[in-house]
Structure 1
């Protein structure tokens, strides 16, 4: 009888040990803030945060800046993702050019982004078709507000490929 009790004790302790090692995190879970009047509900989890290479990246889709850039006559559409003090802009031009952006237009786009968010120091702009598709995909993933495995690494690889001179 004593032997069965010892075996049962060891079994229970093993189960508790494995249960205790399992951790639950609610990263990416929706967090809401309710106004004291009860009339407003605001989602306060707008940014995707990932720890990568010992740095924290806060990737944010800047829809206000997108609207400002799209108001330029030469731009058909824009997707803008900000990371720290940098903004990455993928544009579809009215003339359909995917090889490059005239310097004056690039300056206009940069000014619009910086006017919209004064914390932005550097703006990187491209009309490369692959970059436009990738940025649109990243935007959709970020707007789901769920943790996406490998998003930061994939985004960084795309940025390094499109803007190799700015490493």
Structure 2
């Protein structure tokens, strides 16, 4: 009986942590999702060159720009697409990985550019987390960190420095 009560207590404690809205394992709400905007200035190249560098970065990072980009407007300096990002659901070591989609919007002007990344609600077919339309707080922190890394890599490429790691974890 003591073992049963001890097991029940542990299960209740774990369940309580998982349902606590302040827990990092609790899902975020749509109001928590904000578009991440990165602005690059003093790039020293014209709009056409910056657009080409961004398109080449996306093609190299994702393996194929056609799979990611839906709009490629060189004269307007615009790239619009959709990406897929991986995140770990819970803070526990055995937690599964989930996937979410995000919008990509890039605009180039002479010597400056802007990138906007925004998480989309929903569950992509590839995701193991079928009940999670949005990530956990822990997962969202991982996504925001990945967005920052993507931005840093893109900026490096826009500046002509060419530092690029493929997006195996994105």
Normalising by structure 2, report the TM-score: 0.31
As a proportion of its length, which structure holds more helix? 1
| Greater Rg over alpha carbons, structure | 1
Relative contact order, CA 8 A, sep 6+: which one is greater?
2
Taking structure 1 as the reference length, the TM-score comes to: 0.32
